[in-house]
Structure 1
Amino acid sequence: MSTSGRPREFKDTAVIDAAMDVFWSNGYEACSTQELCERTGLGRGSLYNAFGSKHDLYEQALQRYHEQGIAAQLDILNRPIAVKNRLRRLLEWAVAADFTSPDRRGCFAINAALERACKDPMVEKVFTRHVERLEEAICGVIKSGQESGEIAADRSAEQLAALFLSSYYGLRVLNTGTQNRLLAEQIIAGALDAIF
């Protein structure tokens, strides 16, 4: 038995992943403790002993989603291929994720930000960190494209990264709300044409 006061190891990935699935599908407000218990396999007492509160568990689920998502996005952006192909693949990765979800639940981080960022500093902090890391990576890719001559250097990499980022997040929201693949393809083409 742990003497450090830290939760037991059973809580880690399996329970957090199960909770993430519930929060992702329902949102924070509509997520009941009963459903969290059913999906994680923990009783109410065990759940609160391990995580402290529903909000603490939500934070761990959102943080885990952030870490997994940013790792996948950075993997795409850091591939040793042409800059245009890296940026295109990131947009295509988003479309694949958004159109293959059976319940059209979109991106958990975006959903959390839309539901709670204005009233929950934790959500604002995690989402801002995610956006900043992605923007930094995109900016780095664009700078490398400018250095190689793939992208004209008449605009700042920061400006182009912000433009791409707005297209990326607009794409994610529209994908979830409309499931319009033609529109998604037009956004991808337009975003790339604006940079290259």
Structure 2
Amino acid sequence: MARPKQFDPEAAVVHAMEVFWRKGYAATTPQDLVDALGIGKGSLYNAFGSKHDLFLLALRRYRDGQSLALVEMLEEGGPVKERLRGALKLLAAMDLGDPDRRGCMAVNSATELAGTDQAAAELVRRMFDRTESAFQAMVEEGQRAGEIDPGRDAAALGSMLLDILVGSRVLARIAEGPERLARVIDATIDSL
């Protein structure tokens, strides 16, 4: 008879996500994961296959949580430009308020693994595509409402907003305060 699992796999993925997010993929050792999950190495590999498989599960978990949070911020009522400004500033404040200054796990993974890990790169690419599409939809809504010039290319503006988001999340890792990020976000939204 097989022994029942002594841990919750969903909770284990969340704990693994925290380790990978803080340390990065390469710097995270199997022992780091074993310590964070409170299981033995054999159980780790039996439950998740490999460090890489667990990393991809953790990255998906991060994606699902971040995507939901961003969509909720963007779907709040009010003028489109102010919702965009508010979402970008809230993410910046979250990054700046993180004592470990982890930044965005997707951005971190892209910079660490894009040239060496196709599965992780594809997962991050799809996440960025989804975010860019959400930004484009917001621009189109703003165009219909008369807030944003309808002659502007909504896809290009969505791409610009994604770029600002990614850059802001990198900058927040080293920023001494919110001023520079606020200037970038305000200038971007005002340029719409």
Distance 2:190 2:61 in 1: 34
Are 1:11 and 1:50, in contact at CA under 8 Å, matched by a contact in 2?
no
Distance 2:90 2:118 in 1: 29
User: Where does residue 150 of structure 2 map in the other structure?
Assistant: 153
Q: How many Å apart are 1:178 and its aligned residue?
A: 2.6
Distance 1:134 1:122 in 2: 19
User: Where does residue 104 of structure 2 map in the other structure?
Assistant: 107
Partner letter of residue 38 of structure 2?
G
Are 2:103 and 2:170, in contact at CA under 8 Å, matched by a contact in 1?
yes
Partner letter of residue 170 of structure 2?
V
Q: How many Å apart are 1:8 and its aligned residue?
A: 5.5
Please give the residue correspondences for 1:28-177 in structure 2 after superposition, counting only pairs within 5 Å. 28-177=25-174
RMSD of equivalent CA atoms: 1.7
User: Where does residue 15 of structure 1 map in the other structure?
Assistant: 12
Q: How many Å apart are 1:64 and its aligned residue?
A: 0.4
SS in 2 for 1:177: coil
Q: 1:54 to 1:11 in 2, by over 3 A?
A: farther
Q: 1:145 to 1:9 in 2, by over 3 A?
A: farther
Q: How many Å apart are 1:34 and its aligned residue?
A: 0.8
Residue segments in structure 2 that go unaligned for 5+ positions in a row: none
> So what's the TM-score if we normalise by structure 2?
0.94
Residue segments in structure 1 that go unaligned for 5+ positions in a row: none
Q: 1:89 to 1:12 in 2, by over 3 A?
A: farther
Distance 1:56 1:179 in 2: 36
Give the 4+ runs in structure 1 shifted more than 4 A: none
Q: Percent of pairs identical after alignment?
A: 39
Aligned length: 191
